[in-house]
Structure 1
């Protein structure tokens, strides 16, 4: 019940500086999680028999350093908890024996017809659960209610959607990183980031994006009709 999967970073996944994009980092982590779920019989294909899917609720990523083009990496993943409709999954990324990234994800079971959470219909007792965590800090409360400054608007396009027919989790991060100072990205100044998915977005939805900077924290919120759909908190290296 611990999966290790090897990847090689290709040029399509990299920024101009040759380092892995933060969005593609999240894609690799989620693809590894999906492979583990597939092996255990709780993948998207398995769950669709009951009109169910896993949707990401929270994600925390702590970065020691980013891999770069042509690096061979290994991602390890395991389930920390899985009860009823919720699960915490841990992931770690390695180059050789060096852990370079830790990630924890919080998932919910979602009915793709009713668009509501519900208990997992598939058996999952065969998955071994492991108490160890992959990040130094737990999920935190993101303060995105006060002193936020509007910075952009976005209308959801077809390219933003995934197989569950809502905005893919990585797209929210992409929208925010397209706004942040390029120097932060080009010089790998992100120490950690945490995302909170609050409400799904669909095709043609129009949203407002807001930002707040305080010390080494950068916070983003995405709202539709004044109601929060997503929050992101980035901690920069001092």
Structure 2
């Protein structure tokens, strides 16, 4: 698609929180927070002519490699939030994108994401084939800390094996990144999630999982920190580090 006449290098998009986004207490799910942020990032790519559809002409797609969220509080059902996004860096096959969520002009979430371009046939990274100079790059941080590589310990407890099913897959034909978080959070104390005790989330996407793969979910517990890892055939595919307020 051509670059939209409505394209701007910083996008602000309003979103109403619906009951479909919420936990039973009426507050936004952490997984749906990630979905809303990524939908805004995708909308910005659409407007700027570097969407999934545009990139498929060159057999390319964006895949997320790392994500960091710093959460002050969560919005609730019927709230109208504003999600703001901009590109911090974009060079060759790599890009850093920042996002923020506001409620009534108060910043409640800061997020930094690290993306890579892959060839959807070879599944290998390669330089973005589409022009992107019209995206102004902003050296503005949305979070206090950058995305990081999570240290996955060998001192872990195996929680479950999970076979990948069709509903886990996305348009790039691999397990959608939010699905991994959903699997992990299902092992947490629901009270902690409902009480909004998560301060930060750091996420690494290391290796693809595909239909019928068997994933092993493991967990390491430290003081105020929970670290999950998901692997296939002893090779890490995903890591999640949760830092708790309490």
TM-score range normalised by the length of the shorter chain: over 0.9
Aligned residues, how many?
238
Give the TM-score taking structure 1 as reference length: 0.99
Task: Give yes or no for contact 2:82–2:102 (8 Å, CA) kept in 1.
Answer: yes
Deviation at 1:133, TM superposition (A): 0.6
Per the alignment, residue 105 of structure 2 pairs with: 97
Q: Deviations over 1:14-65 (max 9, x none)?
A: 0001100011100100000001001111000100000000000001000000
Task: Give yes or no for contact 2:66–2:148 (8 Å, CA) kept in 1.
Answer: no
1:9 and 2:24 correspond: no
Per the alignment, residue 80 of structure 1 pairs with: 88
1:191 and 2:226 correspond: no
Q: Which runs of 4+ in 1 moved over 6 A?
A: none
Per the alignment, residue 43 of structure 1 pairs with: 51
Q: Deviations over 1:196-231 (max 9, x none)?
A: 000000000001110011000000000100000000
Per the alignment, residue 175 of structure 1 pairs with: 183
C-alpha distance in 2 between matches for 1:20 and 1:139: 23
Deviation at 1:96, TM superposition (A): 1.9
Give the TM-score taking structure 2 as reference length: 0.95
Q: Deviations over 1:51-80 (max 9, x none)?
A: 000000001000000000000000000000
Say which of 8, 22, 26 aligns to 1:18: 26
C-alpha distance in 1 between matches for 2:124 and 2:217: 25
Q: Which runs of 5+ in 2 are unaligned?
A: 1-8
Aligned residue for 1:171, secondary structure, equals helix
RMSD: 0.7
Q: Which runs of 5+ in 1 are unaligned?
A: none
Say which of 123, 128, 147 aligns to 1:120: 128
